[in-house]
Amino acid sequence: MKKIFCLLLPLAVLAASCSKDRTPAPAAVNQYLISAVKAGTVQKAFLQAALSSYPDYASYATLPGTNVSLYRVSYYTEYPRGTKIAASGVLMVPDNLDPAFPAVVYTHGSIVKADAPSRRIASPLNYTAEVMVGAVMSSAFDCAVVMPDYVGYGDSESITHPYNHARSLGQASLDIILAFREYCVSAGLSFNDKVLITGYSEGGFAALALDRMIQEGSTGLQVVKTVAGSGAYDNVAFAKAFLGQNADLDPSFLSTYLWAMQMYKTDFAYSKSYDDIFSAADNPVLKAAGYNMAYYGTYYLPIDTNPSLLFKKEFVDGVLTGSDTEFMNILSDNSLTGFVPADSVIFVCGTSDTWVYPVNTYNAYNAMTARGCKVKLYKCEGGDHTTTVPTYMDVVLARLRMTY
């Protein structure tokens, strides 16, 4: 969930022209949009050259067809629920915007604060991989691309990101779309209220959470398709699979699981104390660090990486047997396996993913299939969390081609 892949950009001679022009001030009647400030323009030649430099993506080099303007967007969202805060994200608009094509909502994977999309758009040599991919989509399909930072990044970085929290991910993503709709009015652009949603890792979870929030709301938005890659959709099964292991895990992977635990304590008010969750050997280390488990905060801490040693046996047993009903209910409430999408959903996952276990995708797919939903599953045989990304991109770009 940390970084899905890297596109190095050693092509300084093709660097995009950048300007600091401010768009017309939004109307006072806006409920969501605060501002949209142009950060720069990326040239189609740069996108073509960058793609052609890497074997996995060279076949896409002919896709970019126009220049793309990037805007830093500030808007209002809610966090916690009912509390209005300022958030941020990125809007990408191609020179030849097609008013018939849906806007693409691209929800990013797990990142640190410095990699928030809105902080990495001034120069293409500084783009994150996902900003780069978003620009390619916009240029290739003449569509607007909307990318939220999420709560805990950019304008809201003073708040700890509620990691893998379905409601806040869905809300922040929904509200930036509504801000985009208001921007279109002030900028004289057309938006048909149709969206195609996609994301990988935490972004895959966010994509499905956004789909659910749109379906359950009354915004007038229409989801034409959701492509969700390797997300943690079934947190009950995920927690049991993680806590049932008796082996050392990758410290980077482990740190994200602990980040989620911090979220459950904060956002769901899980009542069990950290003293009763972590072992007598590891709890003092985490306590000395202020239980700061967000943004990979435990990566360098000298703690056990074996779940059977890191956590107290009583806590582990409570999850594995289901006897800790409070925690099991929290995990269930934050899962998306019960969502019944009215639109088309496509899942992608690697069969050998040791970070976001494929059981998440299998369970979500099976639950939706059993309810008669229009859903597909693409498996990357033998793929792990990183090597599955090219398969995910193949599916996303193919579906974009088929949209109209």
**pLDDT tens-digit readout, 289-346:** 999 999 999 999 999 999 999 999 999 999 999 999 999 999 999 999 999 999 999 9
- Determine the Cα–Cα distance for residues 305 and 303; give it in Å rounded to an integer: 6
Sign of CA dihedral 215, 221, 226, 231: negative
* Domains of the chain, first to last: 12-234+336-403 (3.40.50.1820), 244-333 (1.10.260.160)
State pLDDT tens for residues 256-294: 999 999 999 999 999 999 999 999 999 999 999 999 999
Judge contact between 353 and 385, C-beta under 8 A: yes
Within 10 A of 197 (CB to CB), how many other CB atoms are there?
29
**Token couple for 354:** 């040791």
pLDDT band at 31 (very low <50, low <70, confident <90, very high): very high
Is the predicted pLDDT of residue 5 greater than 50, yes or no?
Answer: no
Tens of pLDDT, residues 141-163: 999 999 999 999 999 999 999 99
Q: What is the mean pLDDT of the chain?
A: 93
CA 287 to chain centre: 29
| Residue indicated by tokens 């980077």 | 252
Instruction: For residue 126, count other CB atoms closer than 10 A to its CB.
Output: 11
Give the mean pLDDT of 190-209: 98
Cα diameter, the chain? 61
pTM above 0.85, yes or no: yes
pLDDT value of residue 404: 60
